[in-house]
Amino acid sequence: MTRAHLDKRPGDVATMFDHIAARYDLLNDVLSLGQDRRWRRAVARAVAAGPGERVLDLAAGTGTSSRTFTAAGATCVACDFSLGMLAEGARRLAGTALPPGAGTVSFAAGDALALPFADRSFDAVTISFGLRNVVDPDAALREMRRVTRPGGRLVICEFGHLPWPGLDALYGRYLAAVLPAVARRLSPAGEAYEYLAESIAAWPGRQELAARIKAAGWSGVRWRDLNLGVVTLHAARAPR
């Protein structure tokens, strides 16, 4: 049985991300051949955060994605259960000047299954490449719904599957071989990327995830593929 099918114990997953916090963004940039920046821009456009809105960025890591939501004046809470990631993000943000008109980013430790926020606290909730690391994604989707105001938005960016089974199988083998090998050259925690490759392979397809989002109480669920389905962007609304 692969690591991706074992219980995703929050402490173990958080420790794994703590160990790679300092080089996490660099690794993402290298391993995605720079496409992670394009994906962040696509998520920011889908969230469409306006002045005065509040955005919750779950599994935010170092908050690199969080800053993209504040350009028009929204405020963003970068939430993660890896204290190492949050500390690294806060350290970086302390030395960064905010553009004129931009909103602020704050950091909060939290578990997606028991978010430390009141009901209807946010205009938009987003999670990128983190839902598959949650032990109970369906419960997390319901918890995101709880903290979103009526009419608010949900945007999920997650690795997907290529629509051609044979090619998708080849892609899976490529991830399993290349991700850990490259990661070991740039970080002492290459085994973390073995887990990540396995978790991508075990993740459900776009239609199944859309159905699970709807079952969690969201409406208007839709999706679109990026990079031929390497990544899929799901969006939905909290019912009014």
Q: What is the pLDDT along the chain (240 residues), one digit of tens a residue?
A: 233 333 455 566 666 666 665 566 666 676 777 788 899 999 999 999 999 999 999 999 889 899 999 999 999 999 998 888 899 889 888 877 778 888 999 999 999 999 999 999 999 999 999 999 899 999 999 999 999 999 999 999 999 888 888 888 888 888 787 777 776 776 665 566 677 778 888 899 999 999 999 999 999 999 999 998 999 999 999 998
Pick from 198, 197, 223, 199: nearest CA to 209:
223
Question: Any idea where the domains of the chain sit in the sequence?
Answer: 3-237
d(CA 134, CA 114): 11
CATH class of 3-237: alpha beta
